[in-house]
Structure 1
Amino acid sequence: MQRVTNCILRHKNHILLLQKPSKGWYAMPGGKMEQGENIKESVTREFNEETGLYLIEPQLRGVFTMVKTESNTVKEWMMYTFLCDRFEGELLEQSKEGKLEWVPIEEVSKLPTAPSDKFIHHHLLQDETILYGSFEYGSDYQLTDYRFN
C-alpha cells in the first residue's frame, strides 16, 4: 500500500496550492513517503522539494484511506494531511510538479480539485480536530463513496 503526505500551508488568509498540469487540479503540495520515513519527515521533505519552503511544526490533521477501482483493478493508498502556519525559505519560482499559487482561503472551494480535497480543505480550514475518512473513486477519479469517523 502506498503512503503519501501533504500539507495545507496557511499564511495571511491564503493557502499555498500547486496546480498540477495533468488535470489542471489544484492540490496540496506533498507526495510519496520513502522507505523508513515517518510521516512528519515525509511531509517536511516533500513540501520542501515541491515548494522550496521548510515547514515549521506541521500538525497532523487528517488520515485518509483512498481506494480507486477501475476495470477490476483496485489501488489503495493512505494519505496523511497536515496543516501548518509557519515556514522558512523562499518559494520556488517554478516547481517541477506544477504552478504554485497563494490562494485566498475564501476562493479555495471554487477551484478545480480532486473531489476528496473539497471535503479535506473545508474541514482543515474550519475545524481544529483530526479528520479520519475513506474515499472511494471509480474511473477517471469520480468519487463514488466516502465516510468520516
Structure 2
Amino acid sequence: MQRVTNCILRHDNHILLLKKPSKGWYAMPGGKMEQGENIKESVIREFHEETGLHLINPEVRGIFTMLRREAGIIESEWMMYTFLCHDFKGELIPQSNEGELEWVPVEDIANLPTAPSDKFIHQHILFQNDILYGTFEYQPDYQLTHYAFA
C-alpha cells in the first residue's frame, strides 16, 4: 500500500497550492513516503522538494484511506496524511517540476478545481481544530463515488 503526505501551508490568510498540469487541479504540495521514513519527515522533505520551503512544526490534521475501484474491485489503495503548517523558512522556488505554485486566498479555495476529496479536506483543516479521519472511494476516472468520516 502506498503512503502519501501533503501539507496545507497557511500564511497571511493564503495557502500555497500547486496547480498540476495533468488535470488542471490545484493540490497540496506533497508526495510519496520513502521506505523507513516517518510521516513528519516525509511531509517536510516532499514539501521542500516541490516548493523550496522548509516547514516548521507541521501538525497532522487528516488521515485518509483512498480507494480506486473498478467494477466493485479495489484496484489501488493508499493512505494519505495531511498536515497543516503556519511557519516556514526559505525562498519559494520560481517553478516546481510538479506544476505551478500559487498563494491562494483562503476565501477562494472552495471555488478552485481540485480533486473532489480535497474540497472536504480543505474545509475541515482550514476551519476546524481536530483531526479528520476519512475514507474516499473513486472510480478509475477519479469520480468520487463514496466518502465517510469517523
Instruction: Please indicate, yes or no, whether the TM-score normalized by the shorter chain is above 0.5.
Output: yes
Give the secondary structure class of the aligned counterpart of 1:82.
strand
Q: Normalization by structure 2: what TM-score? A: 0.98
Partner of 2:5: 5
Counterparts of residues 14-29 of structure 1 (less than 5 Å): 14-29=14-29
Runs of 4+ residues over 6 Å off in structure 1: none
Alignment partner, residue 128 of structure 2: 127
Q: Distance in 1 between matches of 2:58 and 2:133?
A: 17
Shift of 1:28: 0.1
Q: Which runs of 5+ in 2 are unaligned?
A: none
Q: Give the residue type in structure 2 aligned to 1:140.
A: D
Moved more, 68-77 or 138-147: 68-77
How far has the Cα of 1:6 moved from its partner?
A: 0.1
Give the CA deviation at 1:74: 1.2
Unaligned runs of 5+ in 1: none
Deviations 1:17-48 (A, max 9, x none): 00000000000000000000000000000000
Question: How far, CA to CA, are the matches of 2:27 and 2:74 in structure 1?
Answer: 24
Distance in 2, Cα, partners of 1:39 & 1:27? 18
Letter in 2 for 1:131: L
SS in 2 for 1:40: helix
| Alpha-carbon distance, 1:8 to partner | 0.0
Indicate the residue corresponding to 1:77 in structure 2: 78
Indicate yes or no: 2:47 matched with 1:47. yes
Give the SS at the match of 1:140.
coil
Return the letter of the residue paired with 1:44.
I
Give the structure 2 partner of residue 116 of structure 1.
117
TM-score w.r.t. length of structure 1: 0.98
How many residue pairs align between the two structures?
A: 149
Query: Percent of aligned pairs with the same residue?
Result: 72
Letter in 2 for 1:41: E
Q: Distance between the aligned counterparts of 2:74 and 2:22, measured in 1?
A: 21
- Secondary structure in 1 aligned to 2:141? helix
CA RMSD of aligned residues (A): 0.8
Partner of 2:108: 107
Give, in whole Å, the separation in 2 of the partners of 1:3 and 1:81: 11
Query: How far off is 1:73 after superposition?
Result: 5.5
- Report the 3-state secondary structure (helix = DSSP H, G, I; strand = E; otherwise coil) of the residue aligned with 1:139: coil
